[in-house]
Amino acid sequence: MNEKQRKEMTQQIREGNPADVKSDQDNLNRLKEKTSDDFVKYFQTTYQPPDIKKARKRGKEEVKYHQDFSVSDDLVGIGKGKKFLIRTYGCQMNEHDTEVMSGILTELGYEATTDTHEADIILLNTCAIRENAENKVFGELGHLKPLKREKPELILGVCGCMSQEESVVNKILEKHHHVDLIFGTHNIHRLPQLVKEAMFGKEMVLEVWSKEGDIIENLPKARRGKTKAWVNIMYGCDKFCTYCIVPMTRGKERSRRPEDIIQEVRHLAAQGYKEVTLLGQNVNAYGKDLADIEFGLGDLMDEIRKIDIPRVRFTTSHPRDFDDRLIEVLAKGGNLMPYIHLPVQSGSSEVLKQMNRKYTREDYLELVGKIKNAIPHAAFTTDIIVGFPNETDEQFEETMTLYEEVGFESAYTFIYSPREGTPAAKKKDDVPMEVKKARLQRLNALVNDYSNKALQKYEGQVVDVLVEGESKNNPNVLAGYTPEQKLVNFEGPKSAIGQIVKVRVTNTKTWTLDGEMIEEAAEVK
Ligand code: 5AD
Ligand code: SF4
């Protein structure tokens, strides 16, 4: 179907202006018509979902950098007097994408709200990493249905990682007719046009690109806080771990230019931000795709540590690409925080092989040893998957012993969740869910124990805390993080919010520290 035919077809489906629709029955009819069989068929035949086989073969074609994002004159102000709400699921990458989408919607004239009833546009920025993440989104779509019925002019959109999956898009097209807009992780910069189409055309707007490769530099960002900021350094992932959907949902690895990143961090420092976290699915692969320069994560961190910002972090690391240059730079300390999140996934070399992690248990331990030598006070945390298909009791025990050998201070632990389209999802799995649950329970008990032990070391010590705000449970208590990423609760003046202060630790719990503030402003170590 060509562009002209597409227009004709969507024209046929188009049905008046929603503002004219008065009764509930009319609304229901409209929703039904919007997803007529022809229309669904059209999208199902023209939509090109990301495909893992093609993705694996993807080349290193040149990344194009665009510095020219702008909202065209006819779109400025289309959100004036209107409100938006974005629900974010998943990782920091998604949190940051939400900041970008909020920035774009603000440029269109929209204002933020946290009340679904007030919102004129609601976007669900979704995560596809495990089945339960997806179930939450489908649950939320169900909850929002009555609202959409009451208020047909509401634009309801689904974006983020789930939109990059064919099965999800098909399910929405078939079962969630009240969705107006679906767009993928590579289409965020198209939000102004997509909102306009959703607003004025009455068909469901769907734009998901399997093609990726471009980096759009000057997108607006409405950052959530004034103290800590996310900074993307690269996008995508080319590691193809067999359980993971991310190489499909986020596309191939592509790095931002160092000068653009450095400028962004400098700008944040000048605005008074106290901490930046450099973001990527696999930050250690930073720079590999930069054809004209030899410049890796270590080199980037070496430049960023010279910027006058008190704290610099990075996430997420892949052990395979964690090189000596990076360790050497991290050992220089200063504003580079002694905190290493290094997902291991399993302690068994055989399972790691089946996961296509490209390192063994021994490789991992050697790397940790090197980092500990260079940065003896570094805190290590990790991600672990239990119940990978056919994981044996012995293999699981290897994960337990590795945890102890490294002495992780905390971990995110998950039961393996098959993701359609990934190689592991095709494996027959003979481990019953009960066994997987029992393994997770044992692992979590160990994680709690080690977290508690790690925190006990701080009893009586004075720590630097970057104060984020009032504690969630008690507005009289302030909360913030140490350089090693330990959460500290303490009583102190509101003026300390956004500052780094000295706190004496008076009590340790399983996950957090309690303390008393002893000095208003602390020097950066
Ligand atoms: N099932 C369970 N956990 C997963 N993760 C990634 N994919 C899956 C999956 N299919 C976990 C990994 C990763 C973290 C972000 O999520 O541990 O590091
Ligand atoms: Fe979830 Fe991964 Fe997408 Fe982040 S990149 S939102 S963790 S699927």
How high is the pLDDT of residue 209?
A: 78
Closest ligand 1 atom number to CA of residue 129? 7
Residue 163 Cβ contacting ligand 2 at under 6 Å? no
Residue 265 Cβ contacting ligand 2 at under 6 Å? no
Q: Of 70, 106, 127, 73, which Cα lies nearest the Cα of 221?
A: 106
CA 374 to ligand 2 center in whole angstroms = 31
How high is the pLDDT of residue 378?
A: 97
- Residue 231 maps to a domain: yes
Q: Of 474, 518, 483, 477, which Cα lies nearest the Cα of 497?
A: 477
In angstroms, the CA 391 to CA 137 distance is 29
| DSSP result, 269-288 | HHTT--EEEEE-TTGGGTTT
With both helix axes pointing from N to C terminus, report the angle between 131-150 and 24-34 in degrees, rounded to the nearest 10: 130
Q: Are residues 275 and 129 in the same domain?
A: no
Q: Are residues 202 and 73 in the same domain?
A: yes
> Is residue 28 very low, low, confident or very high in pLDDT (cuts 50, 70, 90)?
very low
φ, ψ (nearest 5 deg) of residue 385: -110, 125
How high is the pLDDT of residue 59?
A: 61
| Residue 159, marked binder | no
Query: Measuring from atom 5 of ligand 2, which residue has the nearest CA?
Result: 246
How far the first Cα of the chain sits from its last, in Å, is 62
- Residue 212 maps to a domain: no
| Residue 161, marked binder | yes
Q: Are residues 123 and 255 in the same domain?
A: no
**Predicted TM-score (pTM) of this structure:** 0.89
Q: Are residues 242 and 178 in the same domain?
A: no
Out of 456, 478, 496, a domain closes at 456
- Residue 396 maps to a domain: yes
The mean pLDDT value for 159-176 works out to: 93
| Residue 244, marked binder | yes
How high is the pLDDT of residue 202?
A: 74
Range of the domain at 511: 462-519
Out of 207, 236, 257, a domain closes at 207
Higher pLDDT, residue 50 or 379: 379
* Closest-approaching ligand to the CA atom of 425: 1
Residue 414 Cβ contacting ligand 1 at under 6 Å? yes
* Closest-approaching ligand to the CA atom of 346: 1
The mean pLDDT value for 46-56 works out to: 60
272-301 pLDDT, tens digit each: 999 999 999 999 999 999 989 999 999 999
CA 39 to ligand 1 center in whole angstroms = 35
Q: Are residues 480 and 411 in the same domain?
A: no
How high is the pLDDT of residue 63?
A: 83
φ, ψ (nearest 5 deg) of residue 418: -65, 130
The mean pLDDT value for 102-117 works out to: 97
CATH no. for residue 428?
Answer: 3.80.30.20
Q: Are residues 172 and 248 in the same domain?
A: no
Q: Are residues 142 and 290 in the same domain?
A: no
Number of structural domains in the chain: 3
Structure tokens at 377: 């006070």
How high is the pLDDT of residue 56?
A: 65
Whether 344 contacts 364, CB under 8 Å: yes
Out of 52, 94, 129, give the residue to mutate to test ligand 1, the one with the largest number of ligand atoms within 8 Å of its CB: 129
Q: Are residues 446 and 469 in the same domain?
A: no
| Residue 91, marked binder | yes
Structure tokens at 281: 């699915």
Residue 159 Cβ contacting ligand 2 at under 6 Å? no
Q: Are residues 175 and 269 in the same domain?
A: no
Q: Are residues 67 and 31 in the same domain?
A: yes
User: What's the chain's Rg over C-alpha atoms?
Assistant: 24
CATH no. for residue 31?
Answer: 3.40.50.12160
> Is residue 46 very low, low, confident or very high in pLDDT (cuts 50, 70, 90)?
very low
- Residue 218 maps to a domain: no
How high is the pLDDT of residue 49?
A: 55
- Residue 451 maps to a domain: yes
pLDDT of 263 > 90? The answer is yes
How high is the pLDDT of residue 426?
A: 95
- Residue 255 maps to a domain: yes
Query: Measuring from atom 14 of ligand 1, which residue has the nearest CA?
Result: 383
Place of tokens 């905190």: 339
Q: Are residues 340 and 420 in the same domain?
A: yes
- Residue 181 maps to a domain: yes
In a 3-state reduction of DSSP, which class is residue 459? coil
DSSP-derived pairing of the beta strands 477-481 and 83-88: unpaired
Q: Are residues 14 and 91 in the same domain?
A: yes
Closest ligand 2 atom number to CA of residue 133? 1
Closest ligand 2 atom number to CA of residue 126? 6
CA 160 to ligand 2 center in whole angstroms = 8
Structure tokens at 363: 């490789």
CA 316 to ligand 1 center in whole angstroms = 12
- Residue 214 maps to a domain: no
| DSSP result, 34-64 | HT-HHHHHHHHHH-----HHHHHH---PPPP
In angstroms, the CA 111 to CA 340 distance is 37
CA distances from 406 to 21, 132, 300, 367 (A): 63, 30, 27, 10
- The three-point CA angle 37-40-43 to 5° equals 150
CATH no. for residue 500?
Answer: 2.40.50.140
% pLDDT > 70, the chain: 86
Residue 378 Cβ contacting ligand 2 at under 6 Å? no
Out of 131, 243, 249, give the residue to mutate to test ligand 1, the one with the largest number of ligand atoms within 8 Å of its CB: 243
Out of 436, 456, 476, a domain closes at 456
Place of tokens 């910002």: 309
